[in-house]
Structure 1
Amino acid sequence: MKASIKVLTSIFLLLSFVTGSAQNTILAKSPLDTMPSFVKKITTFGERCDWSLDGKKIIFLEKMYGDVFEVEVATGILTPLTHHFFHEGFVRALYLSNGDILLSGSKTFDAANPGKSRSPEQAELWVLKRDLSGPPTPLGVFCKEGPAVSREQLKIAWTVDDIYMSDIVYDNGIPKLKQIDTLVRSKDLPKEIANWRLETQNFRPPYDDELIFNAHFPAIEYEAEVMGINLKTKKIINYSQRPDRYDEPEGIFPDGKHILVESTRHHPKRDKGRTTWDYIDIYKLALDGSAKMERITYFNEGLVYKATNPVVSDDGRFMAFQYSVIGETTGVGHGIVIWDFVKENEMKNAKK
């Protein structure tokens, strides 16, 4: 009997070792391990990045509800931007057109219920001066998820339930919102997606005459569409045209002709126990009304990793993004990665 127990114990330990080793092996094999030379990881931590206007630096969150850092792309030198004052953590950081930084974060943080700090009831918008001469100034409005920032003007848009827009002005050096306009309401959406939830994304370059936003709703799986509203005519356009798929707009190209999208088109149906966001990869969507989509990353192959939150440099050459492990909370990242579109095309042409 004792011998049998020893044998069973040995088998159990062996199986545990093999299973654990297999899991560790899977997680150790990041897609970056086999990436071509035009893809480079520049930080070992961080998420939700944004390019500086000159393309020389990238701002990013240390983690959700954490500090904000800036990395110099050429050298990898890191600079903390929010260590000089006490705070409860930030959930977004974006460059304004004058170099100042738009932050989103709550005045309070509860470790037992951290999600409250990114809710539209608690996440506020702030402006941090570029010279880091003091703590950020609150703008007096709350925000759901990320705001949209013009790269040409001191104009922002944000969502609570509806989408709002305003200019930032400085009164004796203190930033404030000039006039708040309601731009889009859920009931304004086209019939097939009427009353879906809203989230701002980008002002469309090069003229800033349109706001790209996301309409989303758990209709079948969890669906999302890439939408745009003309700021003059208020005409709303559906660019992705697949209300049965999850297509969330992210970084936009500087010519305004394409936008990067987090999409599940390669795996539109959820498996049991999974969320829609477990199947995200990065795609490129044409903004000409054709709804043409092109897949860029394949991190989600094997359903272990995903590539998310891409942004494009102002010269259109680089994409910065993060990678995550499926099952993690949306927005979590494990470092900032840069994709060089020019080098990618050179390699493709060399193979022809």
Structure 2
Amino acid sequence: MRAKVLLSLLGAWLLVWLSACGQPSPSKSGGSNGKTAHVIRIGYQKNGPLIMLKELGTLEKRLEPLGYRVEWSEFQAGPALLEALNAGSIDFGRTGDSPPIFAQAAGSSLVYLAAGNSKARGSAILVKADSPIQTIADLKGKTVGFAKGSSSHFLLIQALAKAGLSYGEIKPAFLAPGDARVAFEQGDIDAWVVWDPFAADAERSGGARVLTNGEGLTSDRDFFLASASFAREHEALLKVVLEEVQKACDWVNTHHDEAAAMLTEILGIDQEAVRMALERRVYGIGPMTDEIINEQQQIAATFYELGIVPTKVNIQENIFVWSENVFTWN
């Protein structure tokens, strides 16, 4: 019976994001010099450090002498990315805090490799500028749009609890960011919970007003993940990848104008909105410390207590143990 419940959870979770799933990729392919090159398949979203790593092209340059090429697959949100990871369609990816918990509850063999800095300032609960909703307490009975199983899901739960409301006192509308933006502008939802750069763009050009951001409610971190088997077999490769991720983070932190121009072209949104999003966080990655593991465990416990996931999740069981210190920049 429990197996059926878990399969049902995974199926429902996947259906929300099915349109965003990438296609399987081979592990080897012919290189430009006619030789067979190994391939690392990376799943990314159009936010966070991996999109910048992709655009900078520095990982390809680092891996080419090692006999690897990079194949990138785009996903709209974390749940679909982790489904692809579990299916073996990609090898490595980044999501927010909640998707790995849903994946682990559904039986995924993912492992946490590294954690990002907090980006709580860049996640927000939005209403229209002329909305009568002035506080989180005013959301009682209202329809709130957000991505199920995302970091926004947990932010909403925390904000409601702080305002003395339960999750059951709002009407959830599970929507991917693109669909939620349309619903928000058409008035089909009363509030929208989302992350940057979508939040910043809605503030600047979508007539949105911030009820609250994530500060004091959630750490809202990035997590970098792989399948357990891939991590065991390719530890040295993943170490190189994370080193290049950190270099991309350092570049973004010191090149906001260039990064904003680059992302504006990719995202098709206002450049000042992109710059606002960049200025609301400091990019960087580090190890899965006890503090961060405890943060994740609390999120998992909250989802379980509310019946959002049907089984308890032990985060510690899915932490990858590196054979050496990878995070030499910390």
Q: Same fold (TM over 0.5)?
A: no
- Higher relative contact order (Cα pairs below 8 Å, separated by 6+ residues): 2
Report the TM-score when normalising by structure 1: 0.23
Structure with the larger strand share:
1
Which of these two proteins has the greater Rg computed from alpha carbons? 1
Structure with the larger helix share:
2
